[in-house]
Amino acid sequence: MADRTSVTAGPRRPQRYLPLQILLGFMVIYFLVPFWWVIVNSSKDAPGLFSGGNTLWFSDQIDYLGNLRQLFTYDGGIYLRWILNSTLYALAGGIGATILSVMAGYGFAKYRFAARRFSFAVVLGALMVPATALVIPTFIMFSRLGLTNTVWAVILPSLLNPFGVYLMHVYARDAVPDELLDAARVDGAGEVRTFLQIALPMMRPAVVTVLLLSAVASWNNYFLPLAMLSDNRLFPVTVGLGLWQGIASANNTGTTSLWSLIILGSLVSVLPLIIAFFSLQRHWRGGLSVGGLR
Amino acid sequence: MTLLTEKRAPRAHKETHKIRGKVHLREHLMGWLFVGPFGVVFLAFLIAPLLYALYLSLFQKKLIGGTSFVLFDNYVKAFTDPSFLSGAWFVIRFSLVAIPLQIVIALAMALILDAVTSLFARFSRLIIFLPYAIPTVIGAVMWGFLYSKGFGPLTDIFGLFGADAPDFLSSNLIFYGLLNVVTWQWVGYYMIILYAALQGVDPTLYEAARMDGAGRWQIALRIKIPLIAPALILILVFSLIGTLQFFNEPQILRYLAAGTIGSDFTPNMYAYQQAFSLANFNYGSAISFALGGIVFICVYAFLFFTRKRRSFL
């Protein structure tokens, strides 16, 4: 009893339960297996890949550089284009969606304007609309406007992020005190300046979270670009690798090099987001916890 | 939908606003100014497509006679179409298994990570979350390799015991093959949300419970889980919406699992095929809308059954 209370009374002492840690170890292995397979097999050349056996370990030939060169020169360097396209879609969609969500969330939280409750209820209802159900009509609308098969066809619909609005609303409501905003107003700051200089810095963890979530959603998007784009030079990397996968599966012979490109291509394509997540960890974790999921 | 009725501290600035009506008008204007840009995008890319899809779904294009208004014929057709019905039945069945499985694992992991505070636990948290940063398409590609007879380790591993490797791309086991892919992909994300909610709980509650003689299990089951119920409901709703719209993973795996996954495997795949392979936008829209209806019914049914809990909406 005495030692239990000391655990909670003082600063949290590290707690180690061995069986639980072993269980965690198994989970870690499970979650790492696909990464390990991709890392190992992207080092192999085509014969090594198809020789069978040894699928979870390196073969005698470790040729990352040769495979990388092949990946980035295949079909006139189309893979690099896909990566750059994905980056463009993720940044444009992510930043745009974040700006709109932050403004709207703040507006909903801090101003009592006409039809506020009704509009916010509609936005919340929109969380339940299947995003993919919007793709078919959006495609037809865009094709009327001549926008299909352009970057706008992917970027514009990604600007919509109702969940971001919800998150920002909760955060602005809880973390930005009205008294502070009123004080700024009394001091003669305009509404826009109050927002930019007082409220925005206080909402930073949530802003980073919404930015990451929307950028990830754009980077991972598959259905929308698949439907909107027909020129493979506009594809994001998800649609591009899906295309290769389809080609490689369709004719199993003679496309052995394409399989190794797909494997290494998968590995390279996941690195940017992994790096982004790990380096920004400090920021988004705070955002998720306060993100009001209570 | 009762988020708006939560209790709120009396606001100081409301009184100052009532001094003059002019200030009030200003507040309306500023509010709409901030919400406006999002509102435009919302109308253009959500409301308009939704209404347009509804409109399209009420017409039929025939070889003879062109496009004609048919009211709900497309919906009657959809709900008697074996392709749509089997796809809808599949995603409902899949949701009933996949969602509880993912939530239970995510909750267990979150509770463990909340209790164990070693360096290895922090490392595990990152690794379990890692698949969230992987596009679902790439996740499906990677697991497709692991399942495949030529590239995957299953043949070797089962060969050691002299057994035949299970083929997760065959029609018997594809359900479990997909189940594993989505579990791997999403458990980490749910775990992080639940973990964040657990970290927000006031630790003095645990101490009080201990004083009353509650053990670790009791604290987890009676205090921690009820307190994070809103977060649980949130991720349940999101996973329900996502799983019913199942598209990316089966679409990618169908290249490898030729013959197992047809183009009508899920309602979304069927809608995609109708619209973009067969240029039958009217029927494709009707299927999308019918699927949207199923999602709405499932989500509201779920929220209705959990209404006693404090909900996020």
Q: What is the phi-psi region of residue B60: left when phi exceeds 0, alpha when psi lies from -120 to 50, beta otherwise?
A: beta
Encode pLDDT of B156-205 as tens digits. Answer: 778 778 777 788 888 888 889 899 999 999 998 889 888 888 887 788 88
Q: Report the percent of chain B where pLDDT is more than 70.
A: 89
Mean pLDDT computed over B93-114? 91
For B69, phi then psi, to 5°, come to -75, 125
pLDDT band at B308 (very low <50, low <70, confident <90, very high): low
Distance CA A159, CA B114 (A): 35
Picking from B1, B56, B141, B244 by the largest number of A CB atoms within 10 A of its own CB, the best residue to mutate is: B141
CB contact under 8 A, B38 and A8: no
pLDDT, residue B13, reads 47
B256, B144 Cβ separation under 8 angstroms: yes
Q: Give chain B's domains with CATH numbers.
A: 3-56 (no CATH), 74-305 (1.10.3720.10)
Instruction: Name the residue among B37, B38, B307 with its Cα closest to residue A126.
Output: B38
pLDDT band at B4 (very low <50, low <70, confident <90, very high): very low
pLDDT, residue A253, reads 56
CB contact under 8 A, B27 and A157: no
Q: How far is the alpha carbon of A150 from chain B, nearest alpha carbon, in Å?
A: 16
pLDDT, residue A191, reads 82
Distance CA A72, CA A77 (A): 5
pLDDT at residue B153 above 60?
Answer: yes
Give the ipTM of the model, two decimals please. Answer: 0.82
CB contact under 8 A, B52 and A141: yes
pLDDT at residue B293 above 50?
Answer: yes
Q: Which residues of A touch B116 (CB under 8 A)?
A: 15-17, 20-21, 24
Q: Which residues of B touch A35 (CB under 8 A)?
A: 130, 142
pLDDT, residue A8, reads 42
- How far, in whole angstroms, is CA B203 from its chain's centroid? 31
CB contact under 8 A, B30 and A111: yes
Domain ranges within chain A, ordered by starting residue: 17-62, 72-290
Q: Which residues of B touch A37 (CB under 8 A)?
A: 142, 145-146, 152-153
pLDDT at residue B222 above 70?
Answer: yes
CB contact under 8 A, A12 and B42: no
pLDDT, residue B181, reads 92
The pLDDT mean for chain B works out to 81
Give me the architecture of the A72-290 domain, per CATH. Answer: Orthogonal Bundle (1.10)
Distance CA B71, CA B59 (A): 7
CB–CB contacts below 8 A, A to B: 313
The pLDDT mean for chain A works out to 81
pLDDT greater at residue A219 or residue B256: A219
pLDDT, residue A11, reads 44
pLDDT, residue B11, reads 46
Picking from A113, A166, A191, A285 by the largest number of B CB atoms within 10 A of its own CB, the best residue to mutate is: A113
pLDDT, residue A288, reads 62
Question: Which residue from B56, B204, B255 is facing A249, i.e. has the nearest CB?
Answer: B255
Segments of chain A with pLDDT less than 50: 1-11, 291-294
